[in-house]
Homo-oligomer: A and B are copies of this chain.
């Protein structure tokens, strides 16, 4: 058993399903553009939980022990870390769509180790200095917030965009915060869970709509959504990704609007896609983010966005803290973001 003071660098290793251990983590030698970061805050994300429960997410399978974590901030000076290192040389990288790089090395996405460790080595241009009034925890929150920001950029949210967000989990909520910063004048949040809806309302949703998980209710729920909006829905974010949520999104959106699919809940989907296509409602996919840290930090610095209310639970970097933190995060509901402080 190690304690943080005994060895120089420790990390949370996922050894098997629901089996996490804090163990030593050897740092690689530093390349010419790398810096060594003392990690200070790490949030737990849905995909960490997927790895924890199933040892996999989508096609990424954990085949050998791996360090978890990618929502992270730390100290050289205090920096937030963008977790993915792309190749910088393929066509997609050169074209600025580096999030789609096939050679991406992404913290805690197998086989790349994560950042839930005392120290990591990372390229300097992916470390972003935090201003005095942005904390390390907020720095770590740049990661989930980036998903919302990237989604808002891809579908060009602005003051002309009245929108719904289906799913009031961490991702739906950061998308709401981002959409507000992009100028959206009206945001309606849709969820099955009262607890999540009231959280969303407190965080600034204009309207909240409680829905069921039953497909037969879509038609009636779309009417309620449109009434709550008080006009056409220009854009729908599906931050869940089930048949029912995408069906709702496609049917609620006005001709010429967009549906942005952020949630990755289900692989095969059954959908009324044709009638949406025949109204030129396009489906826009999202994969992580690109070039979002400077904007996120600026939005936090100016107070335009406040992510602190999203951090509902905090834990220390001890074996006990780790075990409890993953337990809490996997149960959801009143836990939005679970954060480690190192």
Contacts and interface: CB of A to CB of B under 8 A. Distances in A.
Interface string A106-135: 000000000000000001110000000000
A273 B269 contact: yes
Contacts of A246: 273
Q: Which of A100, A274, A284 has the most CB of B within 10 A?
A: A274
Given A92-B255, A268-B271, A271-B268, A285 B281 contact: yes
Nearest to A86: B94
A182 interface: yes
A159 interface: yes
Contacts of A198: none
A220 interface: no
Interface stretch (A9-17, A287-295, A330-338): A287-295
A321 interface: no
A123 B90 CA distance: 12
A295 B88 contact: no
Contacts of A6: none
B98 A280 contact: no
Contact of A285 (B158, B269, B277, B299): B277
A268 B88 CA distance: 37
How many copies the complex holds: the figure is 4
Interface string A263-305: 0111111111111111111111111001100110011001010
A102 interface: yes
B267 A269 contact: no
Nearest to A100: B255
Interface residues of A, number: 66
A275 B58 contact: yes
Contacts of A283: 273, 277, 282-283
B92 A94 contact: no
Contact of A58 (B255, B278, B285): B278
Contacts of A92: 255-256
Contacts of A241: 274
Given A185-B304, A269-B273, A274-B269, A287 B279 contact: yes
Interface in A15-61: 33, 58
Given A89-B33, A159-B182, A255-B102, A268 B272 contact: yes
Q: Which of A182, A255, A267, A285 has the most CB of B within 10 A?
A: A285
Contact of A269 (B125, B265, B271, B302): B271
A210 interface: no
A158 B182 contact: yes
Contacts of A294: 91
A241 B271 CA distance: 13
Interface of A: 33, 58, 88-92, 94-100, 102, 123-125, 149, 153-154, 156, 158-160, 181-183, 185, 241, 246, 255-256, 261, 264-287, 290-291, 294-295, 298-299, 302, 304
Given A94-B290, A96-B97, 7 more contacts: A97-B280, A100-B256, A185-B304, A271-B271, A277-B285, A278-B287, A282-B283
Closest 5 CB pairs of A and B: A96-B96, A277-B285, A89-B125, A283-B283, A261-B277
